[in-house]
Amino acid sequence: MCGIAGIIYADANGGREVGSDITRMLQSMKHRGPDSTGYALFGPSSGSYVMRFTLADANDPRDFDFADRIRRNRFLVEQRLRRYGAHIHEIEEETEYAYRVAFDYEGDLKQLADLVEDVPGAEVLSLGHALEIIKDLGDAESVATQYELGSFRGTHGIGHGRMATESDVDISGAHPYWAYPFNDVAVVHNGQLTNYFQWKRRLERSGHRFNSECDSEIIAVYLAEKMSDGASLEDAMRESLDELDGVFTYIAVTEDALGVAK
């Protein structure tokens, strides 16, 4: 039993306070998902990319080497971005393990994301011109305060409050999921996929990667595969209703469209 929310503004010239609005919506459903909260927020689009990534999980033990290990791995991420042609504008430390980096890049997004995720402990949460995925353990107000989302202005967004039933309570298992490697496409899901293992094996054989054991990640990877074959997001969602079994509702959102599947 999870809670999902979405909002798109008809008059978002210059952006609205989407971080605050989604937080209020999710906090009202706190009882439906107290384990973790996630946001896919769309800010002003520009020619630059924004990447959100983590270098550890909130649950990881804080041993004597934790801070040094994070510092070394952050350096490796920056080094790889620059080595493969990214011009970094800024990199922000959101928490002791979560980062936001803005950069210009003209190469292959999948290759860049794979290079970053090859750094020990690294996971790319989102990558796009407008999309930013923020997720962590705790309720909506806790996560919004931790990441200062009250000041986030944008045009639309989706959110998710999770009650873990199929996988661990960790950041990797939290929603939303980025439809890697497509920029600006994210998914939240409420329900259960009964043919999860069948589709996971099939998608892994096609070369797709998974960062969690959560069945919901299947939807994002499924959409990514369909779109890589030339399908639109709308068509990919429609096909998913026939091929992904279960009783569920999910929202897939892009920079310029919002779709809901039931």
- Give the active site residues: 2
**Phi, psi torsion values for 178, nearest 5 degrees:** -80, 135
Q: Token pair for residue 227?
A: 């779109």
Helix (H, G, I), strand (E, B) or coil at 155: coil
Distance (Å, whole) CA 126 – CA 53: 7
**Peptide bond before residue 181 is cis, with ω within 30 degrees of 0:** yes
**107 Cβ contact partners less than 8 Å away, ≥ 6 residues apart:** 84, 85
Burial class of residue 142 in the structure, from the number of CB atoms within 10 Å of its CB (0-12 exposed, 13-18 middle, 19+ buried): middle
